[in-house]
């Protein structure tokens, strides 16, 4: 697939991506490679059948084995490969796992963030750093949609980890003028997601296997969504803008379709796209879920010129196509 928007600014640019084996990381790596960047990835575990493996990207990037919590490793990578841009995407992203193992989630999501930012600060590289936060960082709010100036008040372990990482990034910008910005996306989906506890890939896998798709909630929770390629454009657009506009430093940005839908509506779209007459198995066992979470992306439109290009339905069509092609 051709690059989404050819941008010569990325050609030969030296870019570090943490979390490259994750869904977002894999799509970011692919786009950077297509644009001619020299990509370095810090990878902790060898995860089979990830997007980056299926897409044949391992041989096109430099892989450094280790943990983002190892500051000496991160500093070595930044120096040795003369990194100019950092996309810090490494995180434990599954809410049930965060509830079961909060300490490991805090170590990865919070300590991992300050480790990367401290390594950048000490290296004096001066390049831009884009940190992945989440709409979950806002936590419970009586005001919707979330805007960037809303307070960060996560309460569950995962939400708290994102609130903390978000604030840490802003602290580095305010205190040491680190050129860092924060991305808060809606629910990300796309081909290559191996976390089948998530709604979109889970339903697709169930239908492909001939099983009734499982819906852990009662189907009513409302969320924002964003297709992977739109999210990649968001990250790259923000990083490019940060090079030219110092006023962006420390800013958070929301990115989403701004078309919130219920979980049941998402399932219905998937079933329609897959021409399935299966009915969802609504288990209504997901407790402690917020009923509504969705974003206002006006700042991304006005300050970055970013707009989503892929609708929910088209994104699901592309996602289904990817899984059908790759199994």
Residues labelled as active-site residues: 158
Instruction: Give the integer Cα–Cα distance in Å for 222 and 261.
Output: 5
Tokens of 117: 């930012």
- Residue ranges of alpha helices (H) inside 127-286 are 157-176, 199-208, 228-244, 263-273
Residue with tokens 């092609």: 325
Q: At how many degrees (to 10) do helices 112-123 and 71-80 cross?
A: 40
Q: 39 by DSSP, 3-state: which? A: strand
Q: What separation in angstroms does the CA of 66 have from each of 58, 291, 306? A: 16, 38, 34
CA nearest to 159, candidates 144, 137, 191: 137
Instruction: Give the integer Cα–Cα distance in Å for 108 and 168.
Output: 14
């Amino acid at each position: 697939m051709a690059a989404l928007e050819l941008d010569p600014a990325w050609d030969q640019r030296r870019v570090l991506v943490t979390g490259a084996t994750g869904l977002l990381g894999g799509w970011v790596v692919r786009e950077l490679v297509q644009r001619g960047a020299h990509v370095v990835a810090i990878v902790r575990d060898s995860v089979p059948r990830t997007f980056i493996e299926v897409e044949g990207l391992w041989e096109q990037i430099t892989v450094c084995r280790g943990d983002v919590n190892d500051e000496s490793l991160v500093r070595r990578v930044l120096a040795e490969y003369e990194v100019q841009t950092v996309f810090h995407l490494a995180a434990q992203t599954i809410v049930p796992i965060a509830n079961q193992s909060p300490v490991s989630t805090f170590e990865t999501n919070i300590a991992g963030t300050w480790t990367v930012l401290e390594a950048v600060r000490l290296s004096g590289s001066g390049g831009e750093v884009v940190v992945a936060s989440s709409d979950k960082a806002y936590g419970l709010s009586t005001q919707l949609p979330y805007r960037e100036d809303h307070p960060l008040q996560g309460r569950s372990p995962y939400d708290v980890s994102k609130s903390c990482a978000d604030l840490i990034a802003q602290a580095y910008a305010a205190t040491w003028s680190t050129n860092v910005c924060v991305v808060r996306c809606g629910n990300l989906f796309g081909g290559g997601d191996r976390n089948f506890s998530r709604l979109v890939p889970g339903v697709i896998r169930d239908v492909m296997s001939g099983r009734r798709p499982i819906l852990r909630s009662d189907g009513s929770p409302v969320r924002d969504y964003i297709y992977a390629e739109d999210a990649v454009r968001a990250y790259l657009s923000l990083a490019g803008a940060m090079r030219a506009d110092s006023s962006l430093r420390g800013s958070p940005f929301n990115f989403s379709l701004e078309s919130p839908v219920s979980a049941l509506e998402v399932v219905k779209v998937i079933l329609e796209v897959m021409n399935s007459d299966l009915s969802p198995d609504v288990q209504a066992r997901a407790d402690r879920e917020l009923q509504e979470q969705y974003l206002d992306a006006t700042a991304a439109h006005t300050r970055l010129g970013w707009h989503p290009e892929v609708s929910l339905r088209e994104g699901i069509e592309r996602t289904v196509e990817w899984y059908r092609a790759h199994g």
